[in-house]
Amino acid sequence: MTTERGRFSNGKEICSYFWKNAYLGLVVLFSMHPSLCSLPLSFNAGKSRAHFTGFQSSLVCEMFQNEDIMQALVKYPCHCLLSALIATILGTMAAVAFGK
């Protein structure tokens, strides 16, 4: 892919590189879009989700005073680390098995 003259040796590699990065960008955009749209609406001061009337910061204070939410915030990183550890172990076992 790389040469001593530059990064790409022909136009086909440039096109392939562009489309791979464009695809990755679209995957990230479509994955994050629902979160980015719903986040401002979750702190809407009005009752309707169709009409945005402004931010209401008191909801954030109420959220951090709720005991169930605080327990979930503590447990969430533990669950993430545990699932990542299990996935790593299973993936390594599968790679070793396929390698034989």
pLDDT of 21 strictly over 70: yes
pLDDT in tens, 45-85: 777 767 777 777 777 788 888 899 899 888 999 999 999 99
- Per cent of the chain over pLDDT 90 is 36
What SS3 class is residue 55?
Answer: strand
- Which amino acid makes up residue 14? I
Name the band, by pLDDT with cuts 50, 70 and 90, for residue 3. Answer: very low
pLDDT of 23 strictly over 60: yes
Q: Say which residue the tokens 């530059």 belong to.
A: 6
Best CA proximity match to 55, nearest among 41, 37, 65:
41
Mean pLDDT in the chain?
A: 84
Q: Say which residue the tokens 């791979």 belong to.
A: 20
Best CA proximity match to 53, nearest among 40, 70, 63:
40
